Amino acid sequence: MRQYEQLPIPACAGIMMIMLERKYPFPSACLVETEHEDERPLRILIADDHGIMRSGLRTLLEGYPGLTVVGEAADGDGVVGLAEQLCADLVLLDIKMPGLDGIEVTKALKAARPGIIVLILTAYEDAELLRAALNAGASGYMVKRAAELDLLEAIRRVGRGDVYVHPSVLSALPATQAQRGAVRGVEELIEPLTLRELDVLKLVALGYTTAEIGAQLSLSARTVEHHRAHLKDKIGAHTRAELTRYAAEHGLLPPDKAPF
């Protein structure tokens, strides 16, 4: 008999939480498996305004073990509520859609449930959009012209907690000074830290305790401390103030939360 525990819906502070409560009411929490979690299929929500694209993605993804498509969204406004209703683990998200765009949807998803995975799938190979997506909390950035196997690899990578950006997004960009600066900023975010470490870093910088971070991300206190130790080693920040400064300098905090 499989055992489940009900995870608390994370609370978000300030105006953003008020807005989310009004626009995205979450009446119940998702049930998350506590035994044999690695055997549980990755539950995917597809959000794209083109029906043919959604249908093709569903056919592709459902042909592979370990993946299941739990729903589809045709605009940005309904994604957050649908992700919670369907207990999605990963949202495969277009950027340009009716209603909220993919960047705003990503922010709302991560504010409502920090542990959810967002993989951007877009036609736009743009450094500024890439950086905006990662700063909003996306786990990866894929282009629609990529091969099917590349998409499956991206899902595998972000599903295990890595950050993934398709190589063509960087290599195809014109080498203007502004774009090179944006790309350098993206590389600084991608290379040293995993997605889970980025999540922990942002919550540490926002003043959360170890126990609160564990509740937000469904991690044990020991695992949170393990991630914090890795953060200190990787970025050379050994105090909360240094971690907060790093997060602020790399655009990981909302402007009103940046202390410097």
Domain CATH number, residue 116:
3.40.50.2300
Count of domains in the chain? 2
Distance of CA 142 to CAs 80, 139, 153, Å?
20, 10, 10
What CATH number did the domain enclosing 210 receive? 1.10.10.10
Q: 174 and 200 share a domain?
A: no
- Give the per-residue pLDDT at 105: 95
- Give the per-residue pLDDT at 177: 40
SS3 126: coil
Look up the pTM and report it. 0.61
User: Rounded to whole angstroms, how far apart are CA atoms 56 and 5?
Assistant: 34
Q: List the structure tokens of 201.
A: 């870093």
Q: 99 and 30 share a domain?
A: yes
State the DSSP code for 221: H
Q: 226 and 124 share a domain?
A: no
- Three-state SS for 2-36 is CCEEECCCCCCCHHHHHHHHHHCCCCCCCEEECCC
Q: 81 and 143 share a domain?
A: yes
User: Rounded to whole angstroms, how far apart are CA atoms 244 and 203?
Assistant: 9
The overall longest dimension of the chain from CA atoms, in Å, is 58
- Give the per-residue pLDDT at 251: 65
User: Rounded to whole angstroms, how far apart are CA atoms 128 and 136?
Assistant: 12
- Give the per-residue pLDDT at 85: 92
Distance of CA 15 to CAs 11, 121, 205, 257, Å?
12, 29, 18, 12
Q: 118 and 241 share a domain?
A: no
Per-residue confidence in pLDDT tens, the chain, 260 aa: 333 333 333 333 332 332 333 333 333 345 444 344 456 789 999 999 999 999 999 999 998 889 999 999 999 999 999 999 999 999 999 999 999 999 999 999 998 988 899 999 999 888 788 888 888 889 889 999 888 888 998 998 888 877 788 877 765 555 444 444 444 455 555 556 777 888 888 888 888 888 888 888 888 888 888 888 888 877 777 777 778 877 776 666 665 555 54
Identify the bridge partners of residue 33 per DSSP, sorted by sequence position: 4
- Structural domain contains residue 44: yes
- Structural domain contains residue 191: no
Q: What is the sign of the dihedral through the CA atoms of 78, 106, 11 and 164?
A: positive
- Give the per-residue pLDDT at 101: 93
- Structural domain contains residue 221: yes
- Structural domain contains residue 258: no
- Which residues form the domain of 236? 196-249
Q: 234 and 110 share a domain?
A: no
Q: Shortest CA distance to 106 belongs to which of 137, 141, 76, 73?
A: 137
- Give the per-residue pLDDT at 82: 94
Q: 119 and 19 share a domain?
A: yes
**Which residue stretches of 160-239 are H helix?**
167-171, 177-190, 195-205, 210-217, 221-235
